[in-house]
Amino acid sequence: MHYSVFSVLGQALRGQRGWKPQWRDAAPRTEYDVVIVGGGGHGLATAYYLAKEHGLTNIAVLERSHIGSGNVGRNTTIVRSNYGLPGNIPFYEQSMKLWEGLEQDINYNAMVSQRGVLNLYHSDAQRDAYARRGNAMRMAGIDAELLDREGVRAMVPFIDFENARFPVKGGLLQRRGGTVRHDAVAWGYARAADQRGVDIVQNCAVTGIRRENGRVTGVETSRGLIRARKVALSVAGSTSLLAAMVDMRLPIESHVLQAFVSEGVKPLIDCVMTFGAGHFYVSQSDKGGLVFGGDIDGYNSYAQRGNLATIEDVMEGGMALWPGLGRLRLLRHWGGVMDMSMDGSPIIDRTGIDGLYLNAGWCYGGFKATPAAGFCFAHLIARDAPHPDAAAYRLDRFATGHLIDEKGMGAQPNLH
């Protein structure tokens, strides 16, 4: 059923009784051309673009729980393409362009809101680092503006300009950045992929990966053996566990990142803002809650929850930046498990095993990458060659030294 204001009005008159399931809850068949493991945003987007761009429809997306139950539904909804290194820039910009046309493409309102992403700086050195980044963005045709203190004040007059421990001196602004309603991305891609014939199989956990003669032949699941010519892993957070099924060790650790939402209030802030001197970033959801976060907890974890030390750290950052937040109440905090890679950048590549493809290592940047990750991963799976925009995300870059280390933190995942 096509979604539009007319269908909504029509259904309103019929007591909403005519709506159909947004995607089929498919039972797994015994064989597919491509099996995508992971029904998160990336896996569903991959299925959609495999179908749409490459005409492959004999595809299953296997999800151990229900779709969208991982990081696509646990993040702080920020999208941006303000990266500084050539390995990242074209990829994230492609993602941003796909976001800009996504809703019309998949006929689903994911509330892509290009309200601007503002990164604050507090020293000359930080300003110059942002200038370096902004200039690289501009060279790639991406919008970037370096604001001075007054420019920042015009956007966010309520932050602390008078008594700050680390005074705000300006900011790097990407106006095209913003937020997207996270759950809707998973649901919208699921619906669009389903309409093109993709099987979305929920409650289907992969327990093994079958190989014959160095080639993948299928996956063992909680719902039986499923044969496949190609198997694509898109299970950020759990990548190492799947890789271990084929004895593969990866440059990845799983870490917990917490996220926070306040009670809903009337509009306070119109952009996404990042504090450059503390671990804090914030935006406001359309429903009114401030959505914010900070650093990862910093230890390996699969537990989807964090601890008080990080919570206090995030709130201190919030209060330091925006002292009016004091009486606003924290409503809920939760955690997601990240694939933290060794250089802070993702991997979209073939593996040493024919027919096994890897989309992993997204750190805390996976949500904004969803459309391009799906698009480029689909390209890799369909053509057995990397998409040019994701060509730098090779698995062997740690051996060759072609690292993509935006923060310069080296081989320590919890510092990226």
Indicate the residue among 331 and 385 with the shorter CB distance to another protein.
331
Beta strand extents in 53-151 (DSSP E only): 59-62, 78-79, 117-121, 145-148
Any alpha helices (H) in 140-199, and if so which ranges? 149-155, 182-195
CB of 382 to another protein, least distance (A): 26
Indicate the residue among 274 and 381 with the shorter CB distance to another protein.
274
Indicate the residue among 225 and 269 with the shorter CB distance to another protein.
269
Indicate the residue among 170 and 218 with the shorter CB distance to another protein.
170
User: What's 23's DSSP letter?
Assistant: S
| Nearest to 293, CA basis, from 32, 71, 139, 66 | 71
CB of 200 to another protein, least distance (A): 10
Indicate the residue among 11 and 217 with the shorter CB distance to another protein.
11
d(CA 341, CA 183): 25
Indicate the residue among 10 and 224 with the shorter CB distance to another protein.
10
d(CA 294, CA 258): 7
Place of tokens 């080296």: 410
CB of 394 to another protein, least distance (A): 11
Q: If DSSP codes are grouped into helix, strand and coil, which group holds residue 177?
A: coil
**Which are the contacts of 366, defined by CB distance < 8 A and separation ≥ 6?**
41, 42, 71, 72, 75, 236, 338, 339, 346, 373
CB of 305 to another protein, least distance (A): 6
CB of 2 to another protein, least distance (A): 9
Type of residue numbered 68? G
d(CA 331, CA 284): 13
d(CA 354, CA 91): 25
Indicate the residue among 134 and 218 with the shorter CB distance to another protein.
134
CB of 31 to another protein, least distance (A): 25
Indicate the residue among 52 and 182 with the shorter CB distance to another protein.
182
User: What's 369's DSSP letter?
Assistant: T
| Nearest to 272, CA basis, from 142, 120, 115 | 115
What's the burial of 213, exposed, middle or buried (CB within 10 Å: 0-12/13-18/19+)? exposed
CB of 163 to another protein, least distance (A): 5
CB of 286 to another protein, least distance (A): 5
CB of 300 to another protein, least distance (A): 5
User: What's 246's DSSP letter?
Assistant: T
Indicate the residue among 227 and 279 with the shorter CB distance to another protein.
279
Q: HSE on the CB side for 20, CA within 13 Å?
A: 10
- Going 298 to 300 to 305 to 308, the CA torsion angle's sign is negative
Indicate the residue among 150 and 249 with the shorter CB distance to another protein.
249
Largest CA distance in the chain: 68
CB of 231 to another protein, least distance (A): 20
What's the Cα-to-Cα distance from 391 to each of 33, 87, 205, 346, rounded to whole Å? 24, 8, 30, 11
Q: If DSSP codes are grouped into helix, strand and coil, which group holds residue 357?
A: strand
CB of 55 to another protein, least distance (A): 26
Indicate the residue among 230 and 368 with the shorter CB distance to another protein.
368
